[in-house]
């Protein structure tokens, strides 16, 4: 058993595996979210990071879409959990956890990806009518891109500048309902099965501000610190599936009179795949445990996200190599994994950003 797990985590793993098998071939996001909410929503509500990692690892082994949708329910509601009023939590967080509302996290812009402080979406106070849960009314103008659940979500947590001259310190966080006038979206198609699109805000009224003006970057980073280990867990799930498929393949595929498993080169590849996967899982669950202890886990989360997503890419690539041409056939697990795994090294902070975070934390602490 994983040294960071308790027996309940093993039971959760088994429960999630059953859910993953049930939705593996389902492609209707609202239906998937309802099933996930009914079966696993209590864990989103509790917010224990270790449990979220267990769930994402098991989901990602079979359904990248199911994993993405589960993750977005957490990522889109966590800022409200961190900085929203009790009324907002009841209005948004609870329905998202139970699968009754779809959530989205809107941070990235056409000219502001890794450089979050340069985002250009603006929010200004508007006294012409209406007040949000933050005590003020705001209208938003700007664009967001690569937003998961765009067009599907019932609400968006949107990050915008309330002080354009203050850099990252001028960013605030808002909740915007899907039917808010002035909000439009344009779908974007990825290489994987992942609902995504671009958002445009034109004098779009926010439903509420989260926290105080200028708290947006702190809210965003606090959310990402808790969810980056879960990205690593999803990566490990994809790598586990790739390794499992490969073990079946090399035992049954015969070349030059013997199975691929009998070749030393194959054995070395399998050894590397398994060792790197185990190391990644330990980093992921170490970071999750630190989060659950209430510790500042920025370093551990960045290491887990970086290493797990990088090795998952390598493991999946090696799996496809050992499958040969059969691994390229559309619809096979290896082909699907090859498309699904790639985005994990980009979203919620690229691998390059994780390295910057790790180095910064090392230099800050001196250890």
351, exposed or middle or buried, with CB in 10 Å at 0-12, 13-18, 19+? middle
**Tokens 């996290």 sit at which residue?**
105
Q: Is the dihedral of CA 205, 208, 214, 219 positive or negative?
A: negative
Q: What are phi and psi of 163, to 5 degrees?
A: -140, 100
Helix 298-323, helix 333-340: angle, nearest 10: 150
Among 186, 348, 352, 361, which one carries the catalytic annotation?
348
Question: E-assigned strands of the chain?
Answer: 103-106, 122-125, 138-148, 155-161, 171-177, 183-188, 196-205, 208-210, 254-255, 258-259
Is residue 295 annotated as a catalytic residue, yes or no?
A: no
Calpha distance 70→102 (Å, rounded):
10
Q: What are phi and psi of 321, to 5 degrees?
A: -60, -40
172 Cβ partners below 8 Å, 6+ apart? 123, 159, 160, 161, 162, 209, 210, 211, 212, 213, 214, 215, 216
Q: Which of 201, 65, 54, 74 is nearest to 142 (CA)?
A: 201
Residues forming the active site: 348
């Amino acid at each position: 058993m994983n040294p960071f797990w308790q027996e309940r985590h093993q039971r959760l793993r088994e429960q999630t595996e059953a859910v993953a098998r049930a939705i593996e071939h389902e492609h209707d996001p609202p239906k998937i979210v309802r099933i996930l909410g009914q079966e696993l929503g209590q864990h989103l509500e509790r917010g224990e990071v270790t449990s979220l990692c267990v769930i994402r690892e098991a989901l990602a082994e079979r359904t990248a879409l199911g994993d993405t949708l589960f993750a977005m329910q957490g990522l889109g509601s966590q800022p409200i959990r961190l900085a929203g009023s009790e009324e907002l939590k009841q209005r948004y967080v609870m329905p998202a956890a139970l699968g009754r509302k779809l959530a989205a996290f809107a941070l990235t812009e056409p000219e502001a990806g890794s450089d979050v402080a340069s985002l250009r979406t603006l929010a200004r106070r508007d006294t012409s009518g209406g007040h949000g849960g933050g005590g003020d009314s705001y209208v938003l103008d700007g664009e967001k891109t690569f937003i998961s659940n765009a067009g599907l979500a019932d609400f968006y947590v949107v990050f915008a500048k309330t002080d354009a001259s203050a850099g990252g310190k001028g960013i605030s966080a808002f909740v915007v309902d899907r039917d808010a006038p002035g909000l439009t979206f344009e779908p974007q198609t990825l290489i994987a099965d992942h609902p995504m699109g671009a958002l445009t805000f034109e004098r779009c009224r926010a439903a509420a501000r989260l926290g105080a003006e200028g708290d947006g970057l702190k809210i965003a980073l606090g959310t990402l610190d808790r969810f980056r280990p879960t990205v690593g867990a999803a990566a490990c799930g994809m790598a586990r599936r790739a390794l499992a498929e490969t073990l079946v393949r090399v035992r049954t595929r015969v070349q030059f009179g013997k199975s691929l498993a009998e070749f030393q080169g194959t054995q070395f590849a399998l050894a590397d795949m398994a060792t790197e996967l185990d190391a990644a899982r330990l980093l992921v669950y170490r970071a999750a445990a630190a989060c659950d202890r209430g510790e500042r886990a920025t370093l551990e989360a960045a290491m887990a996200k970086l290493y797990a997503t990088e090795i998952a890419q390598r493991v999946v690539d090696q799996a496809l190599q050992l499958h040969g041409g059969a691994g390229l056939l559309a619809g096979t697990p290896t082909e699907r994994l090859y498309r699904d795994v790639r985005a994990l090294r980009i979203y919620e902070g690229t691998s390059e950003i994780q390295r910057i975070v790790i180095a910064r934390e090392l230099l800050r602490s001196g250890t």
